[in-house]
Amino acid sequence: MKKVVPKIYLALILLFFYLPIIYVVIFSFNESRSLTAFTGFSLQWYTKMFETRAIMEAIYYTVVIAVIATIVSTIVGTIASIGLSKSNRVIKEIVNQVNNLPMLNPEIVTAIGLMLFFTSLNIEKGFWTLLMAHIAFCIPYVMLSIMPRLRMLDDNLAEAALDLGCTPFQALTKVIIPQIKGGILSGALIAFTMSFDDFVISYFTTGPGINNISTYVYSSVKRINPSVNALSTIIIVVITIVLIITNVVPMLKNRRNKNNEKIA
Amino acid sequence: MRGFKRLVWPYMVWAGIMIVIPMLIIVFYAFTKEGNSVVQVKLTLENFGRFFQDRIFAAVLGKSLVIAIITTLICILIGYPTAYIIAKMKTDSQATMILLVTIPQLINMLVRTYAWRGILLNLDISPDVKVYIGMVYNFLPFMILQIYTSLSKLDHNLIVAAHDLGCDDRQAFMKVTLPLSIPGVIAGITLVFLPAVSSFFIPKLLGGGSFVLVGNLIENYFVTIGDWNFGAAISLVMTIIILISMYLTKKLDYDKEAR
């Protein structure tokens, strides 16, 4: 009895978490427009989705923005973090506090700040403002994930590299960066998911005709559009596949290694 | 080596332009009236006066705070047992459970809220309940993960020691486990309360058009009405309220530790 209750509780929580996901997948195959009654199996919303130009464009912009924002914010964030780790206390404190602003402020405040900023400069909102905004809010997260690694770094190693004839650039690429690779990688991953999923900041900084998946979904809720379910299902399937590859494959490898050890 | 510190300078310029200046612009708009040009700037407190004098705005602000506080409490009440049960499992199962809690979060928040809209569409429940479901759904994982992190760091020997010293299970939980997991709860509160106060698409998608929280107010004044000065003033009031509540939450934590 004592062991059953916690299990049921967890099962209910998981049901709550997965209910909308299951729902979306089921209704993406619905024959009718209805979101409440399943009338029969059909793939029409998938074909409609691929035929809807706005959806295809939203997917395109989401991916392009996420990829560019990830690359740029990872490079800038890495360079800035390395510089910051060698700076004095005052500069460290200032940069950390400034970086905290977009992370602690409500997203909507960061978003309208950027929107007012672009408009004040008479920059027309669109692809470039969207990209700039994404880069701006991604960098602090990249730095947050790299800084702890740099703190653990042994300064003497880079000094030794310089003593042994490395140029500062070589010391950077051959000594420092390989040691903080883990932090850079997880920073890039955070940046990508942040950018890919962002709604609030995108909503306020994009211009007419440029939508990402989030702003498209928001603009299409006024009329029921089951193609959104089809789109969501595809996103869910892609994320699940990525998760299986990143989580299950290492697990299987581990198990195989263990078995090999046993045989040996 | 010393020369490396120059690497941060370009970013300092960038952060000044893209993070600090936008915040200053919000403050500037909040304290000025429409039709600003750099040549003639009229400082005014009118925007704030209008916000605090009008009963409707005060009511919206109050409702947003109440909804955010209740959402946070529900997340603690549901999330604590969840985190506790997970933390008591075998290490392998713990990792699997945490992954299962994380996976839905990887799916776009808009997409998930859109799905709830479909589920709740024909259910005969009040808009308030629908908004609560959407908020708890979106923010509960933050609470679970924070509490789980602090529970899993807990040294099991402390509980064994408590039992040795004559505590029963309940006492050991109340006197050892619970106090030591409070930092996780506090971190969870920040992560839930903050997005809950400022959320605007959850009330809009689930509560319907007439369901207005402070985030919707800001959206309306910027997107539909186009009164940016007033919108900026509302954002500033909201930010200050959030900062104060975060400060109070942190203080609660320190006071507990000091005792």
At residue B122, the pLDDT reads 75
CA distance B214 to A219: 20
Compute the mean pLDDT over every residue in chain B, rounded to the nearest whole number: 86
Whichever domain contains B175, its CATH number is 1.10.3720.10
- Binning pLDDT at 50, 70 and 90, where does residue B51 land? confident
Task: Look at B111 and A228 and tell me if their CB atoms are within 8 Å.
Answer: yes
* B200 contact residues in A (CB cutoff 8 A): 108, 200
Q: Decide if pLDDT at A71 tops 90.
A: yes
By CA distance, what is B201's nearest residue in A? Answer: A218
Domain assignment present for residue B182? The answer is yes
Number of domains chain B contains: 1
Tokens in use for B58? 């005060």
Complex ipTM over 0.90: no
Of A36-40, A165-169, B54-58, B64-68, least confident by mean pLDDT is: A36-40
pLDDT band at A41 (very low <50, low <70, confident <90, very high): confident
What would the pLDDT profile of A113-158 be if each residue is shown by its tens digit?
999 999 989 888 999 999 999 999 999 999 999 998 888 888 788 8
A161 and A211 share one domain: yes
User: A9, B219: Cβ pair inside 8 Å?
Assistant: no
**Mean pLDDT (chain A, rounded):** 87
Among candidates A152, A158, A150, A185, which has minimal Cα distance to A174? A158
Q: Contact A140/A103 with Cβ under 8 angstroms?
A: yes
Q: Is A180 on the interface with B (CB under 8 A)?
A: no
Q: Is residue B26 part of a domain?
A: no
Q: At B69, is the pLDDT very low, low, confident or very high (cuts 50, 70, 90)?
A: very high
Asked if B108 lies within 8 A of A116 by C-beta distance, the reply is no
Domain annotation covers residue A49:
no
pLDDT number for residue A33: 79
Structure tokens at A177: 């960066």
Is residue A48 included in any domain, yes or no? no
Q: What are the pLDDT digits (tens) for A78-92?
A: 999 999 988 888 999
In terms of domains, do A21 and A122 share one? no
Beta carbons within 8 Å of A59's beta carbon, 6+ residues apart: A213, A231
Question: Where residue A205 falls among pLDDT bands split at 50, 70, 90?
Answer: very high
pLDDT at A185: 92
Total structural domains within chain A = 2
| Contact between chains at B25 and A113 (C-beta distance less than 8 A) | yes
Which chain B residues are closer than 8 Å to A232 by Cβ?
107-108, 111, 114-115
Nearest CA in chain B to A204: B223
pLDDT at B174 over 80: yes
CA–CA distances in Å: residue A246 to residues A200, A242, A259, B49: 29, 6, 21, 54
Distance CA A138, CA A217 (A): 22
A87, A101, A114 member nearest B8 (Cβ) = A87
Q: What is the pLDDT of residue B95?
A: 87
Provide the CATH number for the domain around residue A82.
1.10.3720.10
Q: Could you list the residue range(s) of the whole structural domain that residue A238 is in?
A: 1-42+227-264
Chain B contacts in chain A segment 64-123 (CB below 8 A):
76, 79-80, 82-84, 86-88, 91, 94-95, 98-99, 101-102, 104-110, 112-117, 120
d(CA A4, CA B85): 12
Residues 33-72 of A with CB under 8 A from B: 35-36
* Residues A215, A193 share a domain: yes
Say if residue A188 is in the same domain as residue A236: no
Does B181 map to a domain? yes
A47 part of a folded domain: no
